[in-house]
Amino acid sequence: MENYDQVCKAIEQIEKDLKIRYFHWADFGSKRGWQIRKKFIEQSAALPYNFKYSIVTNPIRPEESLFNAISYLLNEKNIKKVTIDGSQPKWYERQVKRSLRSRNVSIKKLKISRDTAEPALRLADSLAGLVRSYHDNPTGLAKELYQYLEANNKITAQLMVGGQDVLRA
């Protein structure tokens, strides 16, 4: 993401305009919540980002599938920063780095953080929530927002892996 600091400030401004403290997809599930979701997604679509995602269905080894997905989705060179949402143990961070290095992807900084501390994680959370809602119910409320992002080239990669399949180049 280019202009990371400006994007974070813009996300905080969007939240302020919507009169919410922090945006978290799961917190806005009511009818009014969908209005907030829609406004947040539409306003954030003007920001300079690309969202890539992977859906792994019924993985035999979930952690291995996750690390493989990460290494295939993060294929840019000289990534400056990767932030992972949540609280993960140190071995998890090392495994992500190892997985990326095996694909010749260098990362200057990898950190694990909570979404309340990182506005960009709240944007990622909103997009992950939208993708999940859309794939769970392709004709539901998320369809319009998902198609809006697709039309604006915000969702650029979709990787579906099922059963015992492992991601391969």
How confident is the model at residue 157, as a pLDDT? 60
How confident is the model at residue 68, as a pLDDT? 76
- Do the Cβ atoms of 129 and 137 come closer than 8 Å? no
How confident is the model at residue 158, as a pLDDT? 58
How confident is the model at residue 155, as a pLDDT? 87
**Interval 90-99: pLDDT, tens:** 888 888 888 7
Assign 165 a pLDDT band (cuts: 50, 70, 90).
very low
**Interval 75-90: pLDDT, tens:** 777 777 788 888 778 8
Model confidence, pTM: 0.83
- 34 phi/psi in degrees, rounded to 5: -65, -30
- 159 phi/psi in degrees, rounded to 5: -125, 115
pLDDT above 80 (res 126): yes
pLDDT above 60 (res 113): yes
How confident is the model at residue 20, as a pLDDT? 94
Q: Concatenated DSSP letters for 14-29?
A: HHHHTT-SS--GGG--
